[in-house]
Amino acid sequence: MFTEAEWRPVLESLVRLTMSGKIDWELVDPSANTFEATIDETTYSLGSVDSDGRQPFSLTVLEGEMVLDELATNGRSGAPLPTGSFFDIQSALQNHMNPLNALLIRLHGLARRSAFGAEEKAASLLKALVALEDPTRADADRLQAAAEANAD
């Protein structure tokens, strides 16, 4: 239904809004790494076409139960798709991929980070590692957290 000229600004907006934290994605199918975000009456469902959690990915746009359109990644001239959660759009363009593919791949990585709370998890991992390296620093962090909790 949508043309490439219509899809591109939609994908770019989804990427920007996800990066800024204004869209939160929810994991709806862990085995296929499928994520959903709802804005007003529109649901965006982003997942793996073949349900293996990896490329090719598809984005389905729904209003209520009605599917408005679906976009899926595909290689050009049979070229293999790049892998990785944090795929760089410029690299995709240099590899002669359709720019929509690159945006959809990037969006999937961002949706995954959003659904899993990547920033918070990374901070938690780092805090545990710092505690192993320097237990006195971990004690200071615990005292500060307790003081902040008592102040509330």
Tens-digit pLDDT profile for residues 106-120: 898 899 999 999 999
What pLDDT, on a 0 to 100 scale, did the predictor assign at position 85? 40
Q: Is residue 25 over pLDDT 80?
A: yes
Residue recorded with tokens 């591109």 = 8
Section 61-72 average pLDDT: 91
Shared domain for 124 and 109, answered yes or no, is no
Shared domain for 51 and 110, answered yes or no, is yes
Residue recorded with tokens 């593919």 = 101
**Domain of 96?**
4-116
- Look at residue 97 and give its three-state secondary structure: coil
Q: Is residue 95 over pLDDT 50?
A: no
CB 92 within 8 A of CB 75: no
Shared domain for 8 and 41, answered yes or no, is yes
**pTM above the 0.75 mark?**
no
d(CA 131, CA 108): 33
Q: pLDDT over 90 for what percent of the chain?
A: 33
Q: Sorting pLDDT into bands at 50, 70 and 90, what band is 138?
A: low
Shared domain for 65 and 133, answered yes or no, is no
Shared domain for 9 and 48, answered yes or no, is yes
Shared domain for 83 and 97, answered yes or no, is yes
Domains in the chain, number: 2
Shared domain for 72 and 35, answered yes or no, is yes
